[in-house]
Structures are given as C-alpha cells and as structure tokens.
Structure 1
Amino acid sequence: MTFRTLFLFTCNLLLFSGCAIKEPLLRQNEPYAPSTQSLVQNIVPQNIAQDDFTYRYYKPWFKTHLSHKKEDASWANKSYGIKGRYYGENLQLIGDDEVDALLKSTNFEAHGSVNAHAIMLQNEQMRNLPTHKPFFKKTTLPGEGYPFDYLQTSRIHIAEPILISHYSRDGAWAYVESSFAAGWLPSNSFVWLDAKERTPFIKALKIAIVQDNVPLYNAKQHFVSYAKVGAIFPIENEDDNFFYTFIYTKDANEEASKLTLFIPKSFAKKVPLEFSQESIHQLSNTLLGEKYGWGGYLNNRDCSAMTRDFLAPFGVWIPRNSAAQKSFGEYISLKDLSPKEKEAMILKHGIAFLSLIYLKGHIMLYAGEVQEKPFVMHNVWGVKTLENGKEGRDIIGKAVITDLYVGANQPNVPEASLLINRVEGILVKPTYATKNNLVSKYPSVKAIKDNNVYFMDGSTLPYDDKQAKHFDELLENADIEDMFTQTYPAFFPITPPTLNDDPGRFRNDAFLKKLYGESKKEIEKNLTEVIWLPNHGAKKLKFNQNENAAMQLQKVSDELDRLPEKYMKYLKNPAGTYAYRPIAGTSRLSAHSYGIAIDLETSYSRYWRWDKTYTFHNEFPKEIIDIFEKHGFVWGGRWYHYDTMHFEYRPELFESID
C-alpha cells in the first residue's frame, strides 16, 4: 500500500470517527439536548461570507505600524505585576524576584522598533507576559485556579499572519499583533516574510480546515504539524483527493523557506464554505466535546475561540473575546426582559448557527429551536452553585449543546445562575457595524439611532433612505449608509481595481456640508493652514480644520517629510487642496470643495478621464500611500475610475487611524 493510499485511508477513518453525533454528557436529569442533526434541518443553504474577510484575516500584513501605543500594549505589566497575588504551577505564591525579572524581560522600551511582518510556523498559545509558566489566582476561590491562567490570552493558528513589535530582552519571545489579539509568542514559532512572500497568501483562493487536529504532511510525506478548525491556507493546486497548499518554515539562516503541503479534501473546504446543513453538521460535531481551554489554554478552546473558529470557514471574521464579539454587528439588548420574553426574542431574531447570545463573560452560538425552545452551542467551564452559603462550580468543562436552563433541576444551582437569567442580548449577524465609525471618527456626530444621524448641535440627517441603487445612482444620490457600500482596502497591495469598485467615491453632500460648511463662504471660514513638508519647502496649504481633517493632513505631511530624499519628487509640488468646484463631468461638488482632499504631483499621475486607453497605471510609491491611509485618507488609485494623485480625508472608511 502506498503512503498516499494509506494516508487517505487513515484520514477517512479519522473523519468518520470524528463525525459521530455527540450528545452533551451533562447530568441525566438535565434538560434534553438535541443533536445537531435535528437542529440543522431548517437551515437554508446560503453564502454568509463578509466582503472584507480576507482583509480582516490578513490585516496584520496590511499594517505599517502597531495598533496599540506602548502604554496600552504594556497593560499586562501593570495588571500582573502586582506582587503577592498570583500563584505558580506549584500552587505557591510567585516570588517578587521572579515577577520583577519577568517584567524587566518585556523590554517595552523597544516597543514598535521591529515592525516586521511574519507568519506562524505552528499552533501556539499567545501569552500576556513572555513565559509559558502560569499565573493562577488563589485556588480556593470559586472559579479560580486551573485552568484559569491569567497569562493566557489566546491561541493562534499555524499559517496565521502577525505583525512583530519587538523582542524580549533575551530574544526568546516577541510581542506581536494578530488580526484579533496582541501578546507574546516564542520567537521560534514564526518567520519573517517580505512583500513578495506575503502577496501569494493574500491573493490566492483559500481553504479552511473543517476537522480538528488534522495532521499536515509535506511532499516528502513527513509530518509537519497539526491544523485545527478555523485555520486558513492558500490554495496552490488541487486534484480529486487533495488540496495543495503551502506555508513557510525557517531555513538554516533563519530565513523563510517555502514548504508545500497536501491536505485531503475531506478535511478542508474552500472559503467561503456554504452555510448549509451538511457543513454546519460537520463543523459542530467536530467541535462538540472538546475540552474547555481558557484563552486557548493547552490548545483547547474557550467560548469565544469556539465561535471564532466555527464561523471562519464560512468567511466570517469576528473579534477575540465575548464582549467584543457581541458588539460586532446588530446587537439587540435583552437585559430587562423576563425569561419568557428573552426566549421569544431569541426565537424571533436568531439565525441558527450564526447569531451569538451574550452574557457577561460568556458567548454562545444560537443553535436553533426545538419545540419552540432555543438551544445554544457553547464551550463552557461550568455552572455557579451555592451550598450552605458557599459558592462553587458544577463543572461541564467542554463544548456542548444545551438549552438556557442548565442546572435548573439541581438544588445547588441558584436561579440567578441560570443562563436565561444572565443573558443580556443577542448579536443577530456578525458583521462590522461601519456606521459606528461615524461616531468614533467625526467629533460632530453624536449618535446613530432610529435611522437618523444625530449631531452635537441637535440637528439630524436621515441615515438610510432604504432605496436599492445601481452604480450611477450611488454616485449621484448616495445616502449616508451608501457611503459604506464598498469596503476600502487599506494597505492592500496595489493592483488594478475591478469594474466599478470605487470605495470612497459615494458621498452624501448633506453630510459633508454639515461637517465642513454649508456654503463656499462657510467652508472658507473653516480653512486653516497645513505646513506641507516642513523640511522640504514648508509650503502652506489650505485645508478644512473641522473634524480633525487639517490635523490629520499635518500628521501625513510630517511623516512624509521624514522619508528618504528619493520620495520627494512625488511630494514637493502638490497640485492643490481647496478648490470650490464640481467634479469633472458632473454637477456634484468635489471633495476639494470641502477642503478635505489633496492632489500630489500631476506629472506622476494617471486619471481615468485623461487616459485614452483607460488602463490603470500607478507611479506613486506604496510607502507614500500607506502613510496617507494610516491617517484616514483614501487614495484615488484604489478606484476603478482611478485618480492616482488624489487623496481624500474619509476616516469613516477605516477601522482605525492614527
């Protein structure tokens, strides 16, 4: 028997043994928990993938800098540097000298000094401090001790992208950011990649692992690592039985070396996986029964890791912890409702195996209903108990499907501990609520409520006119909601945009007038001077000071001013900023009319209206574009109707800006 045949046989054996229906093994008198087979019967096949899944997953590779400043990144030094509070693996207090040495090793004086892009070579536990040793609280306290290691922050997959901040003093660890978490990883768990090595990962079609602990083998049939549900790999090739993918390893010189892998098609599916009965049944059954792992402890999952990994194959990215996940989309509060009212709202709004049900410190995947009763799938440690006035835990310790009344038949479980009484709300469908950016990015915007945008002066504008529009209508008559129709690909590699992909060209004039001035006279009152390239000519440019626009352009200017001299030819002679005029060929006001756009040197520019061949071409270096995007400016070179010299302040289209 060849290795290939033996491998396929072994893989199929593993697959079918892992797909047996698992029932949650709670106490016999707990409420009945249905199988996933019965819960998925009403699932309608559909595509639920987010348009920006690739961007969110590979976001660390699009960054030119870290998201967190040193003071924020080093929070764990303050929280876990308190002496006499934490216990080690021997259940004894950790000594002061050990704590001091650990804090010193974090080397946060070097924060942001590396700023290198890398990829994970293996599955790894991300830590809050650079050590694998645990920090437990007093084990006699309820809900403390094993497995609640306070230095455990998350688990990260093989082949996952990261951005490196800096190394510990001994070089054994690195502080990094992934797409969903930041913390410490062993230095031997990743390898640096340059832009040429990163681009194939981003551009390729993807597969997601859909069976836990899949062994990965290279072309020489040597074992490489295991992959878990939620891991994402690029597709290089495929045949009837295998996907051929690749990762990187370290060679003898610590450089990246490409390694081809082959993965059986029974263990991986193309992203996005169709949201169907078959796929949900397979994914849920491979996750059910997994032991609980606080923050990914021992490479197991906790509640939020389970929801993240379950949704990833469908092309749905969600943040790391329960509090962040419940805010990632349309959230309905259930806080002041009775148990029956909560159940009714969950049944009314919940989408089986997509909606998330939240209570403080815990998140659950809504799993559908049986006999008008909602069920949830969750990885849970246990249920609070109370006996003779002493709090304890009734341990479940694994991923299960239950109703919201777990423990209701147990005399030692108080009513207040029941899930139904602790449920605070439901996230109907995970998707980044871009409208929140209006509030967070524009000081004049107070809130968005009841389909209205509320401004600090008490005025309002409608948010969504509820009209379906084709491309030309979006250009001519965009409402505020329409401005978010297309995702802006910040920091992406520069490639020709696809047909009518113009993120940032849909503008609502009423909104812009409210922010920057209702008339030419009012706009001009709001203009201030930006010193352009202080050490290379110090030209004075007019820009709107409202909504921090001029301040952000000054940040761009100051950072561009520090670039090497070879970049100055693109920057020294900008074509202009404020100019009250319509967009060429239209009656709509241009962004220049509001004083929120700048055009760079025209001799290096390409504009779709000027080009007879209508062929995208760009001469502006990506280093310049990255700096503009870092501070909230969209680039006209990201548009199908390209204008490569044009940069426009549109912070609402960025998840975060400096």
Structure 2
Amino acid sequence: MFLAPRSTRRVLMLALCLALGSSAASALTRAPAATPDPGPALPYVIGLHEAYLTPQYWAARLPDADALILDRTQIAAQNTRMRAEDPHIQDIAALPASLPAATLRESITALSRWPTRALYDAHGTAIPAGQRADIEANLALDRLPARTAPQYGLVVHRAALRTFPTRQRVFSSTENTDIDRFQESALFPGDKVAVVHRSADGAWLFVHSERYSAWIEAQYVATGSRDTVLGYAATGPYRVITGAVAHTAFTPEEPRVSRLQLDMGVRLPVLAQWSPAQAVNGQQAHASWVVQLPVREADGALKLVPALLPRSQDSSADYLPLTPRTLLTQAYKFLGERYGWGHDYDTRDCSGFVSEIYRSAGVLLPRNTSAQGISPALDRIAFTEKDGAARRERAVAELQVGDLVYIPGHVMMAIGHVDGRTWVIHDTAGGSWKGEDGTRIQAHLNGVSVTPLEPMMASDDLRYIDRITNIQRVRPQSTRQTP
C-alpha cells in the first residue's frame, strides 16, 4: 500500500477538517461520550442490565445532560401558567372570606362518595352497613352552617389525605390489601391548607390545599393567622429537601420536631441569623441547618419553632437546576422504594413519584395521573383509540429524558433509548411482559422500577404503547406545539 509523505498527509488532513465545516465540527463536540458498558444482564426484568440501574449510565449517553430545560425565570412562568390554566391547582389565598354551605357540601360530596363496588377490611370481611353509616355520618354534612369562614393552617407532620374522615382501611378484594381505596394522597410538614369543615367526632378536618381537597387528621394541622400561614417559607433563605426523604435531628427536648420525615421538594425557611454558639433543642448547631418548622399547640394553635436539619441530610439552598441530569438523578433516589397507593406507607405512588422529582426543581404538577395527563399547562401530545401503532411508536421513539408517558391509571418517566428500546423509570404496583414461550409474565414489581417500555403488556393482547393516552413534556412556552 502506498503512503504519501508525512507532510503531504498533514496537508490532506487539514483540508479534510476544513471541508467538514464549522457546523459539523460543532456537532462533533456535542456528541455524547462513549456508550458505557451496560454490565451483565440481570434476571427477571426483560432486557435489564446492571448499568441501567444507575442514573450515570443514562446521563453519559446524552450530549447535553446539563443543559437547562427551563431556567428559574421560565420555571416561575411555567408555575404561573399552571396555577392560571389548570383547574386542579387551587389558590387557597383567593378563597372568599366566607363560603356558603352549598359550596362546601359540593366540595365534600365530590370526594366522599361511597363506592358502588363491595369493600372489605384487612381481614377480608365485607364492610357492614352499620359501619358504613357511621363513617358517612362522621361527614357531619347536617352541621354545615349557612356560611363558613376558612381557617388557615400548616401541616406539622406527614399526614394522609383520606376520602372519608376515618382511618378504616378498605379494599376492593379479599386478596389484595395493598391499595386502600380511602387513601387519596398525603401532605408534608409546612404544607399550607385552608380548613373549611370538621368531622362530627372532631378528629378530622376537611381542607383545601394547592393540589387537593380531602380529609386530614386534626392532630396534624396547626391553625394560625392567614398572613402567618400564607407567608411561611415565602421568602428565603431556604433548605429544599433533595433526597427521597430527609429527617430532622432527634431531640427529646422538642419531640414534635424530632426525626421528622421531610420528603423530596419540601422547602423550609432557614433561621440564618441563628448564632452557631446557641444550642437548638439541646444540641449545638454548627453541623446542621437551623430551620423553622410549624408545631401544633395543645389547643390546635400554630407555633413556629427552630429545629436542626443535619448537613448529612440531602438538601439544597435552592431548587435544583432543571436539567436532564437532575431529573435522572432525582428519579433514581427513589429506586426500589415500595409502591404506596395515594402516598401510603410513607412512600408514594406513580404520579406522586414524578411530581416530587419535578418539585425538587421547583416545578409544579397536578397531583393525580388523570389531572397530569390532560393538564393544559404542559406540552401535551394526546392519543385516542383512532391512533394506530405507527403514530404511537413514533412518539415513543422521540421521547426525551423527563417526558411523562400516561396510560390509564399510570405514569412513567422516560430515561433514554438503547438497543432499539425506550426505557422508563416508574413507581408501579404491577408490570408484565411476554416470556420466551410467548406467555405473559405477571410481575409484582411493587415499587420504583426501571423497565423497557416496548415489551410492557397491559393485557395478553395490548401493550402499554397501545394504551398511551397522553405524553406530557415540560419545555419553554415559546417552543410549545398545538397537539
């Protein structure tokens, strides 16, 4: 083989580089890093490799993992749009000074309607008619005054939001006692609520919060002045919880803020002027952040007290930058966490999972899949039964990191594509795919899992892809497209 002299080869290489042009050279600089080794194949979940269980693997495949999806100004505009356009987001500050009984009755009965199907307790016993009557009587609808002035409060402890004012767990079958049909959601320390009604036994409050209206135990809400409640954590400095959960320091001196669970995205005011030499609840504060938390006095009144958030706990001085890397990293902090319908078990469900990922970057989403999937404030691609496999598969192939994919009752977050498959992370109670013999494997993932999207089956004949109802994407308003 003939080789030109070295000097000639240099000239030829230089000419070749110039021929590529600046745009091509720029594209090369943006190319992703070499694809990481996916590691060994893992058993059970179809197509899964060891490396797929790390956010670093997916981030390394991106040419722009740290590019901002939205900056702080754009996120503020996005949240303003969400509050203005999505009917599932409630501005409790805009409530009138008093609410008529008819309005409250409508709010309560819209939620607290007894299901038509049979319900069972944890022992498989059907809920008797007498118990149902007692639960419904506790709604105290006959005690609604002609007009009610809302009270304002702060949640002092992670607490369940319930369909009815009862702790009674109820299930749709005698075999499955995981999904409590009276469990709606949860609120976290510092969440703001408007209290508009009390149960007959006095133990429960019907509240409006920004994303939900439901029953909460009165012991977890402290009421105070409207200005104090609405002003809580409204100005900095802050600490934003960026771990799946964090906990305050243990303190026997103030049990109300001892080892308090704080979930991802919770934002707490920092008492920046606190002297490092001054103890907080018996402990010197140099190794912690001194944060302010709400507590409930014996009479139900609100009090704000200092507490220690150890520096070892995963938190940030502000919301995280909204980038593909952030979404991947935050999602994987929940990997393996048990599925909790309606935020049961002190964990979360599929829609809570994705909303808390985005909340750690300061982005507001509706609470439930049914609301998220159709939100007019997001960049929505809608599907109907008339849409065939080709359109659905094309949309799946074009998914970007952070895109939210909805099928009836479930949402998944896209994390990347590899070897012709689209991969998602989701908090799921089930999951299924076909084995080598063609029969469907009914998995019981029951937690935050990483799976490929294409093989996932909704039934023996229908794929998840065939049941996609919506894809939602968070992006700048200037690039939004009409569905």
Structure 1 residue 120 corresponds to structure 2 residue 155: yes
Pick one of 317, 324, 346 that aligns with 2:371: 324
Secondary structure of the corresponding residue to residue 261 of structure 1: strand
**Aligned positions of 1:90-239 closer than 5 A:** 90-111=123-144, 113-139=148-174, 145-198=176-229, 199-217=231-249, 223-237=258-272
Q: Which residue of 2 aligns with 1:427?
A: 472
User: For 1:31 and 1:88, how far apart are their aligned partners in 2?
Assistant: 38
CA deviation after TM superposition for structure 1 residue 288, in Å: 1.1
Structure 1 residue 298 corresponds to structure 2 residue 345: yes
Unpaired runs of 5+ residues, structure 2, are 1-38, 84-88, 277-285
Structure 1 pair 182–386 and aligned structure 2 pair: CA distance change class (3 A): farther
User: For 1:70 and 1:431, how far apart are their aligned partners in 2?
Assistant: 39
Further displaced range: 213-222 or 33-42: 213-222
User: For 1:60 and 1:308, how far apart are their aligned partners in 2?
Assistant: 20
CA deviation after TM superposition for structure 1 residue 374, in Å: 2.1
Secondary structure of the corresponding residue to residue 272 of structure 1: coil
Q: Which residue of 2 aligns with 1:396?
A: 445
Secondary structure of the corresponding residue to residue 471 of structure 2: strand
Letter in 2 for 1:94: I
Q: Which residue of 2 aligns with 1:381?
A: 429
Secondary structure of the corresponding residue to residue 342 of structure 2: helix
User: For 2:476 and 2:188, how far apart are their aligned partners in 1?
Assistant: 22
Letter in 2 for 1:216: T
Tell me, yes or no, if the aligned pair for 1:230 and 1:308 is still in contact at 8 Å: no
Structure 1 pair 217–259 and aligned structure 2 pair: CA distance change class (3 A): farther
User: For 1:48 and 1:318, how far apart are their aligned partners in 2?
Assistant: 17
Letter in 1 for 2:196: S
Secondary structure of the corresponding residue to residue 243 of structure 2: coil
Letter in 2 for 1:419: Y
CA deviation after TM superposition for structure 1 residue 26, in Å: 8.1
Structure 1 pair 79–60 and aligned structure 2 pair: CA distance change class (3 A): same
CA deviation after TM superposition for structure 1 residue 378, in Å: 0.7
Q: Which residue of 1 aligns with 2:302?
A: 256
User: For 2:365 and 2:265, how far apart are their aligned partners in 1?
Assistant: 12
Pick one of 289, 302, 308 that aligns with 1:243: 289
Query: 1:107-151: per-residue Cα shift (whole Å, max 9, x none)?
Result: 1244572511111010011100011111211235xxxx3212110
Tell me, yes or no, if the aligned pair for 1:119 and 1:159 is still in contact at 8 Å: yes
User: For 2:318 and 2:374, how far apart are their aligned partners in 1?
Assistant: 24
CA deviation after TM superposition for structure 1 residue 397, in Å: 0.3
Structure 1 residue 75 corresponds to structure 2 residue 103: no
Tell me, yes or no, if the aligned pair for 2:250 and 2:259 is still in contact at 8 Å: yes
Letter in 1 for 2:191: E
Tell me, yes or no, if the aligned pair for 2:220 and 2:296 is still in contact at 8 Å: no
Pairwise CA RMSD of aligned residues? 3.6
User: For 1:341 and 1:294, how far apart are their aligned partners in 2?
Assistant: 31
Secondary structure of the corresponding residue to residue 320 of structure 1: coil
CA deviation after TM superposition for structure 1 residue 255, in Å: 2.1
CA deviation after TM superposition for structure 1 residue 372, in Å: 4.9
**Aligned positions of 1:249-648 closer than 5 A:** 249-265=295-311, 266-276=313-323, 279-328=326-375, 329-335=378-384, 336-339=386-389, 341-348=391-398, 350-353=399-402, 355-383=403-431, 393-407=442-456, 414-416=460-462, 418-429=463-474
Secondary structure of the corresponding residue to residue 155 of structure 1: strand
CA deviation after TM superposition for structure 1 residue 382, in Å: 0.7
Secondary structure of the corresponding residue to residue 405 of structure 1: coil
TM-score (norm 2): 0.73
Secondary structure of the corresponding residue to residue 308 of structure 2: strand
User: For 1:295 and 1:234, how far apart are their aligned partners in 2?
Assistant: 27
User: For 1:104 and 1:122, how far apart are their aligned partners in 2?
Assistant: 27
Structure 1 pair 66–309 and aligned structure 2 pair: CA distance change class (3 A): farther
Secondary structure of the corresponding residue to residue 248 of structure 1: strand
Unpaired runs of 5+ residues, structure 1, are 1-22, 436-448, 452-658
Tell me, yes or no, if the aligned pair for 2:374 and 2:380 is still in contact at 8 Å: yes
Tell me, yes or no, if the aligned pair for 2:350 and 2:428 is still in contact at 8 Å: yes
CA deviation after TM superposition for structure 1 residue 315, in Å: 0.9
Further displaced range: 61-70 or 94-103: 61-70
Structure 1 residue 31 corresponds to structure 2 residue 79: no
Letter in 2 for 1:178: S
Structure 1 pair 291–157 and aligned structure 2 pair: CA distance change class (3 A): same
Structure 1 pair 382–430 and aligned structure 2 pair: CA distance change class (3 A): farther
Secondary structure of the corresponding residue to residue 233 of structure 1: strand
Tell me, yes or no, if the aligned pair for 1:48 and 1:315 is still in contact at 8 Å: no
Secondary structure of the corresponding residue to residue 131 of structure 2: helix
User: For 2:131 and 2:42, how far apart are their aligned partners in 1?
Assistant: 41
Structure 1 pair 283–39 and aligned structure 2 pair: CA distance change class (3 A): same
CA deviation after TM superposition for structure 1 residue 237, in Å: 2.0
User: For 2:44 and 2:107, how far apart are their aligned partners in 1?
Assistant: 47
User: For 2:170 and 2:475, how far apart are their aligned partners in 1?
Assistant: 33
User: For 1:48 and 1:422, how far apart are their aligned partners in 2?
Assistant: 33
Structure 1 residue 40 corresponds to structure 2 residue 59: yes
CA deviation after TM superposition for structure 1 residue 27, in Å: 4.9
TM-score (norm 1): 0.55
Secondary structure of the corresponding residue to residue 381 of structure 2: strand
Secondary structure of the corresponding residue to residue 92 of structure 2: helix
Structure 1 residue 59 corresponds to structure 2 residue 91: yes
Q: How many correspondences in the alignment? A: 401
Secondary structure of the corresponding residue to residue 445 of structure 2: strand
Structure 1 pair 263–281 and aligned structure 2 pair: CA distance change class (3 A): farther
Higher relative contact order (CA 8 A, sep 6+): 2
User: For 1:168 and 1:154, how far apart are their aligned partners in 2?
Assistant: 19
CA deviation after TM superposition for structure 1 residue 166, in Å: 0.7
CA deviation after TM superposition for structure 1 residue 347, in Å: 3.9
Structure 1 pair 86–28 and aligned structure 2 pair: CA distance change class (3 A): closer
Tell me, yes or no, if the aligned pair for 1:357 and 1:365 is still in contact at 8 Å: yes
Structure 1 pair 289–432 and aligned structure 2 pair: CA distance change class (3 A): farther
CA deviation after TM superposition for structure 1 residue 334, in Å: 4.0
Structure 1 pair 373–394 and aligned structure 2 pair: CA distance change class (3 A): closer
CA deviation after TM superposition for structure 1 residue 386, in Å: 11
